[in-house]
Amino acid sequence: MNQNPRSYLSLFLPGRDHRWLISLTLTTAGGRRTFTLQCWDLTNSPNCIARRTLSDFRGFRINTDPFHAAALALRSSNGLEILEIEFSASDPDSGFVTLQALVDVHESLHVFSGSTLLTKFGDRDTQLHIRCLENPDVPVELRNPSHNEPKECVDAIVTDKYAVVVRTATLEFYSLSSIRAGSGAHVIEPIASHTWQWRVDSVSMAYQPSWEAAARATEPPINILVRYASLFPWPVNALHHYVLPCDDSYDPQDPIDGCNRPYCTEAILIRTFASPIRLFARWDMVLRFLRDGVVGRFPYGGLLRSRGWRGRDLLGLFSQPSSLAWKSSPLNDQGISAVASMVYQVREDDRWVRIAIQEQEGKIAVGTSTAEITIFQYI
């Protein structure tokens, strides 16, 4: 029995002229699952410039550092591969080039940033390892001693200096200075931790570009879009926008430790959006920033939701820049938004399954269950 291919994932490649889209499609034929990884040039008519067919696929992550040669990490039963993209390759089948192979690493990929990998391991993938590509055989565990059992990591931001980890119960901040200094430590504990009010179901995080942070050469605030779980087998139908503000006492010239942190300990709740998503329906969300010529960049939440019993809505949620909003307008004054800022598109069937946003150019990519990808342009 053959099955038509369907979109599994679509993501924009950071930087690199903001013109490349990575897609992953799944085809099932005769009981065999085959994945196809592709890179598309969106300059004019979409053109595939790199392609790899995978029969032994266990996940991949795009490198969030746009200046690093490695574009993505790929996992199979043989371990991990670090890939670059030959954008001018004459044959798409040779467009993905292996830079490095980690044959003895069989952990789940979670974040790839620069030369740093965050991987999951353990019985339920609840434990975390940091690996540097310069010395990948020496992992360092990120462990919170306050947990009797490790809590699942939902999302994370990783740099060469620190890691911000969102688990189902806590928001944790780790200094990676000791790893870069070659201390030989096998375990790192968080230098700060914040406990969520409820158990977290899903999260999307993104930096808030800030003129103030750029002028001081410090880290920008981090926006966090949270959907909480519930006591029932389904999450709460509301999205909560938090900001992790900068710590004004942070000195970027000194090593990061418990007394010198880029961020405050507690995430601040900015606002709550009512999210009328049908229970048990497929949905997706992402948090990014769109440019505005007057104010700067606005936090933008893209939401793909079910519409009635059939159909999909592509929604947009806008809010004021969080680096200012949490100081000037507390949650009680803002209230709860019951509707999206705008509805971009409506589809009468259930084929939309994934959403991605390219904030610099204002593009939105929506993957379908039939392996089609639709690109919308924000105007």
Q: Over pLDDT 90: what percentage of the chain?
A: 43
Q: Is residue 179 over pLDDT 70?
A: yes
What pLDDT does 325 receive?
47
Question: What is this structure's pTM?
Answer: 0.82
At 338, the pLDDT band (50, 70, 90 cuts) reads very low
Residue length of the chain: 379
Q: Is residue 339 over pLDDT 70?
A: no
Q: How far is CA 202 from CA 83, 111, 271, 289, in A?
A: 28, 16, 17, 19
Q: Residue 326: which residues within 8 A CB-CB, separation 6 or more?
A: 243, 245, 268, 270
Tokens linked to 345: 């598109």
Per-residue pLDDT tens for 185-238?
899 999 999 999 999 998 988 888 766 655 566 788 998 988 898 877 767 778
Q: Is 209 exposed, middle or buried (0-12, 13-18, 19+ CB in 10 A)?
A: middle
What letter would DSSP give residue 21? E
What pLDDT does 3 receive?
58
Across 45-54, 143-152, 279-288, the highest mean pLDDT is recorded for 45-54
Q: Is residue 89 over pLDDT 90?
A: yes
What pLDDT does 304 receive?
45
Q: How far is CA 65 from CA 79, 137, 212, 343, in A?
A: 22, 22, 22, 31
Q: Residue 377: which residues within 8 A CB-CB, separation 6 or more?
A: 361, 362, 363, 364
Mean model confidence pLDDT for the chain: 80
